[in-house]
Amino acid sequence: MTIQNKSMDALDAHCRDWRQIAEQMRAHVAPALKIQQELQRSLGPFVEAQKAYEKLLEPILNEQKRWRELIGSIKVPHFELPILPLLTKQVLAFQESVREVISPAFEQLQRSFRDLPPRTQEALLLLGDHGWYFDLEMPLSGLWELKKALSEGNVEEAEDGLANYFEARLEEIEKSISERFPHRAHLIKAAFNAHRRQEYELSIPVLLAQTDGICKEVVNQYLFIKQNKKPGTAIYVDRFAADTFRAAFLSPLARTLPINASERERPAGFDALNRHTVLHGESLDYGSKVNSLKSISLVNYVACVLVVEKVSTEKSSG
In the prediction, which pLDDT does 32 show?
A: 47
**Rounded average pLDDT over 282-303:** 97
* Confidence grade of residue 103 (pLDDT, cut at 50, 70, 90): low
Identify which has the larger pLDDT, 20 or 216: 216
In the prediction, which pLDDT does 104 show?
A: 55
* Confidence grade of residue 196 (pLDDT, cut at 50, 70, 90): very high
Mean pLDDT for the chain overall: 77
In DSSP notation, 59-112 reads HHHHHHHHHHHHHTT---HHHHTTHHHHHHHHHHHHHHHHHHHHHHHHHHHHHH
Task: Give 201-235 pLDDT, tens digit per residue.
Answer: 999 999 999 999 999 999 999 999 998 889 999 99
Rounded distance between C-alpha atoms, residue 114 and residue 99, angstroms: 22
Rounded distance between C-alpha atoms, residue 135 and residue 166, angstroms: 9
How many Å separate Cα 92 from the centre of its chain? 35
* Confidence grade of residue 259 (pLDDT, cut at 50, 70, 90): very high
Rounded distance between C-alpha atoms, residue 10 and residue 308, angstroms: 42
User: Do the beta carbons of residue 203 and residue 295 sit within 8 Å?
Assistant: yes
Query: Which residues share a beta bridge with 230?
Result: 227
Q: pLDDT at residue 20 above 70?
A: no
Phi, psi of 72 (to 5 degrees): 65, -125
